[in-house]
Amino acid sequence: MNLAVTGANEVVFAFALWGAEQLIYALLQWIVILRYRSLIPLMWAIQFLETLGRILVGHLKPVTFAHTPPGAYQNYIYLVLSLLMLALSLWSGYKSIREEKTKNK
**Over residues 41-61, mean pLDDT:** 93
**Over residues 45-61, mean pLDDT:** 92
**Over residues 41-60, mean pLDDT:** 93
Residue 78 has pLDDT above 90, yes or no: yes
pLDDT band at 72 (very low <50, low <70, confident <90, very high): confident
Contact (Cβ atoms closer than 8 angstroms) between residue 50 and residue 29: no
Q: pLDDT tens for residues 2-46?
A: 778 888 888 899 999 999 999 999 999 999 999 998 999 999 999
End-to-end CA distance of the chain: 67
Task: Report the candidate in 59, 57, 32, 58 with the shortest Cα–Cα distance to residue 44.
Answer: 32
